[in-house]
Structure 1
Amino acid sequence: MPYSDKIERRLHLAALVFLCLIPTFLLFARGAADVSLVLVGLLFLTRSTLRHDWAWARQIDIAVLLLALLMLVVVVAPFGEYPGKNLSRGLIWVRFVVFYAAISRWVLVDKLAIRVVCYATFAALMVGALDGVYQFITGYSLLGGQGMVANGNRLTGPLDRPNIGSYLSKLAFGVMALAFVAREQLGEKRPLAIGAGVMVPVLAVIFLSGERAASVLTLMGLVAVVIGLFISGGRARVLSIFLGAVGVAGIGLLLSSSDRIAGRVAALGAVVSDYADSIYGQLALMGWRFFTQNPLTGIGMGSFEKVCRAQQPPESLQFGCYPHPHNIYAEWLASSGLVGTVPWLAFVGIVIWAGLRLIRAGHTQTVLVALYLATLNASFFPFAATQSAFSNWPAILAWMSIGCAVAALNVFKRSCPTTA
Structure 2
Amino acid sequence: MMIDNTPIWVRYSQTALPWLLPPLLLFSRALADLTVLLSGILFLIWSFQRQDWHWARNPWFRLSLLFWAYLLFVNLPLSVDPSDSLLYAITFMRWPLFAAALAYWLLTSRDRQKHFLIALLFTSLFIALDTGWQYVTGVDWFGIPIAPENRLTGPFRNPVAGIMMVRVEFILLLAIAVFSSLQSIYRQVLFIVGILLSFLLLIFITGERMAFMLCVSASLLVLLGFALQYPARQTLVVLGGLLLILVIIALMFLLPETSQRMVFSTVEKLQNFRESDYGQVFRGAFEVWQHYPWFGSGLHSYQAVCAELGVMANTAIACTHPHNLYLHLGAETGIVGVSLFCLMVLAIFHQALASLWRQKSWLLLTICSAILLLSFWPLIGGISLLNNWVAALVWLGVGWALTVDLQHSSAEHSA
User: Which residue among 192, 207, 217 is the counterpart of 1:210?
Assistant: 207
Structure 1 runs not aligned, ≥5 long: none
Measured against aligned partners, the alpha-carbon deviations of 1:281-325 in whole angstroms (never above 9, x if no partner) come to 2222222222222222101111011001212286x3313432310
Partner of 1:367: 363
- Answer yes or no: is 1:246 the counterpart of 2:240: no
Partner of 1:300: 298
Partner of 1:282: 280
C-alpha deviation, 1:258, in angstroms: 1.4
Query: In 2, Cα distance between the equivalents of 1:210 and 1:391?
Result: 21
Amino acid at match of 1:230: A
Amino acid at match of 1:346: L
User: Which residue among 235, 260, 282 is the counterpart of 1:263?
Assistant: 260
Query: In 2, Cα distance between the equivalents of 1:367 and 1:299?
Result: 42
Is the Cα contact below 8 Å between 2:60 and 2:351 reproduced in 1?
no
- Answer yes or no: is 1:393 the counterpart of 2:389: yes
C-alpha deviation, 1:16, in angstroms: 4.6
Measured against aligned partners, the alpha-carbon deviations of 1:179-234 in whole angstroms (never above 9, x if no partner) come to 12214xxx464997877755553332012211111111111111011111111226
C-alpha deviation, 1:59, in angstroms: 0.4
Query: In 1, Cα distance between the equivalents of 2:369 and 2:221?
Result: 8
- Answer yes or no: is 1:229 the counterpart of 2:226: yes
Is the Cα contact below 8 Å between 1:174 and 1:375 reproduced in 2?
yes
Partner of 2:138: 139
TM-score normalised per structure 2: 0.91
Query: In 2, Cα distance between the equivalents of 1:401 and 1:31?
Result: 19
Is the Cα contact below 8 Å between 2:64 and 2:93 reproduced in 1?
no
Query: In 1, Cα distance between the equivalents of 2:196 and 2:124?
Result: 9
Query: In 1, Cα distance between the equivalents of 2:230 and 2:3?
Result: 49
User: Which residue among 147, 150, 163 is the counterpart of 1:149?
Assistant: 147
C-alpha deviation, 1:27, in angstroms: 3.9
Amino acid at match of 2:57: R
Amino acid at match of 1:289: E
Query: In 1, Cα distance between the equivalents of 2:156 and 2:365?
Result: 31
Amino acid at match of 1:402: V
Partner of 2:127: 128
Partner of 1:23: 22
Superposed CA RMSD in Å reads 2.5
Query: In 1, Cα distance between the equivalents of 2:4 and 2:414?
Result: 32
SS at match of 2:153: coil
C-alpha deviation, 1:402, in angstroms: 2.2
Query: In 2, Cα distance between the equivalents of 1:296 and 1:389?
Result: 21
Is the Cα contact below 8 Å between 2:139 and 2:146 reproduced in 1?
yes
CA gap of 1:8–1:409, structure 2 versus 1, over 3 A, is: farther
Structure 2 runs not aligned, ≥5 long: none
SS at match of 1:416: helix
SS at match of 2:76: helix
Is the Cα contact below 8 Å between 1:372 and 1:409 reproduced in 2?
no
CA gap of 1:9–1:218, structure 2 versus 1, over 3 A, is: farther
- Answer yes or no: is 1:407 the counterpart of 2:392: no
Is the Cα contact below 8 Å between 1:19 and 1:36 reproduced in 2?
no
Is the Cα contact below 8 Å between 1:108 and 1:114 reproduced in 2?
yes
- Answer yes or no: is 1:63 the counterpart of 2:62: yes
Partner of 1:11: 10
Amino acid at match of 2:347: I
Is the Cα contact below 8 Å between 1:174 and 1:402 reproduced in 2?
no
Amino acid at match of 1:286: G
Query: In 2, Cα distance between the equivalents of 1:343 and 1:313?
Result: 27
CA gap of 1:353–1:306, structure 2 versus 1, over 3 A, is: same
- Answer yes or no: is 1:330 the counterpart of 2:327: yes
Amino acid at match of 1:124: T
Partner of 1:32: 31
Amino acid at match of 2:283: L
More deviation, 28-37/207-216: 28-37
Query: In 1, Cα distance between the equivalents of 2:20 and 2:47?
Result: 23
Amino acid at match of 2:363: V
Query: In 2, Cα distance between the equivalents of 1:194 and 1:359?
Result: 21
More deviation, 373-382/269-278: 269-278
Q: Percentage identity across aligned positions?
A: 25
Partner of 1:380: 376
More deviation, 335-344/19-28: 19-28
C-alpha deviation, 1:11, in angstroms: 2.2
C-alpha deviation, 1:412, in angstroms: 2.2
User: Which residue among 173, 176, 183 is the counterpart of 1:176?
Assistant: 173
Is the Cα contact below 8 Å between 1:72 and 1:90 reproduced in 2?
yes
Query: In 2, Cα distance between the equivalents of 1:145 and 1:198?
Result: 27
Query: In 1, Cα distance between the equivalents of 2:307 and 2:24?
Result: 34
Partner of 1:47: 46
Query: In 2, Cα distance between the equivalents of 1:238 and 1:294?
Result: 53
C-alpha deviation, 1:8, in angstroms: 6.7
Amino acid at match of 2:284: M
C-alpha deviation, 1:240, in angstroms: 1.3
Is the Cα contact below 8 Å between 1:18 and 1:39 reproduced in 2?
no
Is the Cα contact below 8 Å between 1:68 and 1:343 reproduced in 2?
yes
Amino acid at match of 2:143: G
Query: In 1, Cα distance between the equivalents of 2:19 and 2:299?
Result: 30
SS at match of 1:325: coil
Amino acid at match of 1:327: N
More deviation, 365-374/386-395: 386-395
SS at match of 1:337: helix
More deviation, 284-293/242-251: 284-293
CA gap of 1:79–1:318, structure 2 versus 1, over 3 A, is: same
SS at match of 1:155: coil
Query: In 2, Cα distance between the equivalents of 1:359 and 1:15?
Result: 27
TM-score normalised per structure 1: 0.90
